[in-house]
Amino acid sequence: EAGVTQSPTHLIKTRGQQVTLRCSPISGHTSVYWYQQALGLGLQFLLWYDEGEERNRGNFPPRFSGRQFPNYSSELNVNALELEDSALYLCASSLQVRTAGELFFGEGSRLTVL
Amino acid sequence: LAKTTQPISMDSYEGQEVNITCSHNNIATNDYITWYQQFPSQGPRFIIQGYKTKVTNEVASLFIPADRKSSTLSLPRVSLSDTAVYYCLVGAAGGYQKVTFGTGTKLQVIP
């Protein structure tokens, strides 16, 4: 069974540009979570989608947005990139009805903003 | 979501048993305790989950006292490949409202 897949794996952007990151959850998983992990730091919760709806978001500005498609895949969009947006962006999926904590993570998208 | 507190870092020699404790004083009745492992530049990987007493799987054991205000992840006979960051999470069954990882415990295994 395929795990959570993310694309692209690495990308370089300049300040002010926009980026779209993509995530495909494990087949059958309806929930998708997005996290930001700056170098050497912990995971900061960004967004949670379930059944196509945004269920919760972390303390990030509105230029961080996303959506979940009918096939449960998801996109994370970041507008007006800033240097501090450089980080590893991780996507995770889970079965909403399962017990808490069984998040399955992808390998992440490493974003560098110059 | 219950806040968790873990040691920032730990060192251990190869072959030793390692115990990492997590405090979660405000754990709710329906909260589970889950531990993840993360290697550099990779996504975290689920290790073990429990609700009370003791849970054991092929890689670790999780000890939870009766008051559930703390939990201890036990890694038997660690090897160099166990060098990673270990995160403790507390959340309710049926999915998280807002899953947040703390800073975790950086375990360094020494030859």
The verdict on a CB contact (< 8 Å) between A48 and B96 is yes
Q: Is B43 on the interface with A (CB under 8 A)?
A: yes
Q: Which of A78, A66, A45, A105 is nearest to B91 (CA)?
A: A45
| Structure-token pair, residue A18 | 């926009």
Average pLDDT per run of 10 along chain B, which is 111 residues long? Answer: 86 97 90 91 91 93 96 96 94 62 90 94
Nearest CA in chain A to B44: A105
Per residue in A85-96, pLDDT (tens digit) is 999 999 999 876
Is residue B91 less than 8 Å (CB to CB) from chain A?
A: yes
Residues of A with CB under 8 A from a CB of B: 4, 31, 33, 35, 41-45, 48, 50, 55-56, 58, 88, 90-92, 94, 96-108, 110
Cα dihedral across residues B56, B64, B40, A19: positive or negative: positive
Query: Are A4 and A23 in contact, with CB atoms under 8 Å apart?
Result: yes
**Shortest alpha-carbon distance between residue A40 and chain B (Å):** 9
**Residue A25: which residues within 8 A CB-CB, separation 6 or more?**
A4, A31, A32, A72, A73, A74, A91, A93, A104
Distances (CA, A) of A11 to A36, A74, A78, A88: 15, 18, 13, 10
Point out which residues pair with A64 in neighbouring strands: A78
Look at residue A94 in the predicted model and tell me its pLDDT: 85
Q: Which residue has the higher pLDDT, A82 or A2?
A: A82
Tens digits of residue pLDDT in A39-79: 878 888 899 998 899 988 989 999 999 999 999 999 999 99
* Residues in B touching A105 (Cβ below 8 Å): 42-45
